Amino acid sequence: MPKSCFRILKLHKSKSIFILIIFALAFTSCERFFVDDINDEKVELLAPQNNTITGTIAQNFSWKLVDDADSYRLQVFSESTDNSFSIKLDTNLTTNEFNYNLLEGNYFWFVIAENYYSSAYSDTFRIQIDSSGTLENLMPVLTSPSSEYSNITSLTFTWSSLQEAEKYRFDLKKGNWDDDVIDTSMIIQSKTISLILSEGTYCWGVQGIINNIYSGFSYKKLTIDLTAPGKPELDSPEDKSSSTTKEVVFYWDVADDIGSPVYDSISVASDEDFKTISYTKKSTNGESIITFETAATYYWRVKCYDMAGNSSSYSTTRTITIQ
């Protein structure tokens, strides 16, 4: 046992504790009992640099990593007009960067590295956000609907909060985002809105508003598709055909679909009621290769689905005998 391990044992006066630690050391490496002292370490701040003056409200705070640190404590203080200070942000992080929005004003920030111990305080940097503050590169994150396609007309649109945002502008456009055809536009304070839409293609977007300053727009496409894909028409192999090879290529035709993207699913069963499915595969090109393991007579059929959740009826059923 390394000598350093004995130093720990001397700290324990109790005989019972001594025995427990001896037992633990028999199954655990000694290093687990030690945490490196980082009291003399000092975090080096990277950005924003000291005495930065900027109109960018969205700030990325970053600093260099400290060896053996488990986490970092970032603190930001705001300075009022009477030269008093109030804490704006106090957060513990496991990474060496953090995004935060600062409105117009003067701020000071520093970082401490931590494990069991705490490092020395970093230097304190000053940053000033001037009155020309812009949110151009800051945008809400759109969360729902998460899919680009839906067969539901009653939808709830949601997005993540934008720090310090007082309200949001919600726009819904028919067609592409660059089109000028606005279906709905409103300013709201909540982060959610419910609408009933008709079938068609839309784009929806949200921007935050802070002190009458507008962020950039986050937007995404949405297609409401209520039309089921057409029923597949089987091509080959012909019904009641047979094959001397176990690898068989199946072909079918699908009607053009102008809504959401479609895919097909072929099902192969050992019974005509398809209660025992032997093989099932997805396809997007009207064909599928299946390698049979057992010689027998099989039943096969195809069904089409689209990305909005609609589905066709099943095709006719054919049989094939693998010899």
| pLDDT value at residue 17 | 45
Q: Is 318 in the same domain as 237? A: yes
| pLDDT value at residue 12 | 41
Percent of the chain residues past pLDDT 90, beyond the cut: 62
| pLDDT value at residue 240 | 96
| pLDDT value at residue 25 | 47
Of the three residues 82, 111, 131, the one that is the final residue of a domain is: 131
How many CB atoms within 10 Å of residue 90? 10
Q: What is the mean pLDDT of the chain?
A: 86
Q: Distance between CA 203 and CA 212 in Å, rounded?
A: 24
Instruction: Please say if the pLDDT value at position 271 is more than 50.
Output: yes
| pLDDT value at residue 181 | 74
Structural domain includes residue 92 = yes
Instruction: Please say if the pLDDT value at position 198 is more than 60.
Output: yes
| pLDDT value at residue 6 | 32
Structural domain includes residue 281 = yes
How many CB atoms within 10 Å of residue 294? 9
Strands 262-269 and 213-214: unpaired
Structural domain includes residue 40 = no
For residue 105, the domain's CATH number is 2.60.40.10
Structural domain includes residue 117 = yes
Of the three residues 199, 224, 249, the one that is the final residue of a domain is: 224
Q: Is 58 in the same domain as 121? A: yes
Q: Is 51 in the same domain as 111? A: yes
Average pLDDT over residues 267-285: 95
Q: Is 184 in the same domain as 242? A: no
Q: Is 218 in the same domain as 270? A: no
Average pLDDT over residues 284-311: 96
Average pLDDT over residues 126-130: 91
Average pLDDT over residues 77-95: 89
Q: Is 125 in the same domain as 54? A: yes
Structural domain includes residue 207 = yes
Range of the domain at 182: 142-224
Structural domain includes residue 39 = no
Structural domain includes residue 136 = no
Instruction: Please say if the pLDDT value at position 134 is more than 80.
Output: no
pLDDT tens-digit profile of 205-254? 999 988 788 888 899 999 999 999 999 999 999 999 999 999 999 999 99
What's the length of the chain?
323
Q: Which residue has the higher pLDDT, 6 or 187?
A: 187
| pLDDT value at residue 259 | 82
Helical segments of the chain, H only: 3-9, 15-27
How many domains is the chain built from? 4
Q: Which residue has the higher pLDDT, 23 or 120?
A: 120
Q: Is 65 in the same domain as 123? A: yes
Structural domain includes residue 210 = yes
Of the three residues 224, 245, 264, the one that is the final residue of a domain is: 224
pLDDT tens-digit profile of 29-66? 444 446 678 888 989 999 999 999 987 877 899 999 99
Q: Is 157 in the same domain as 127? A: no
Q: Is 74 in the same domain as 122? A: yes
Q: Distance between CA 263 and CA 195 in Å, rounded?
A: 29
Q: Is 51 in the same domain as 125? A: yes
Q: Is 118 in the same domain as 187? A: no
Q: Is 124 in the same domain as 56? A: yes
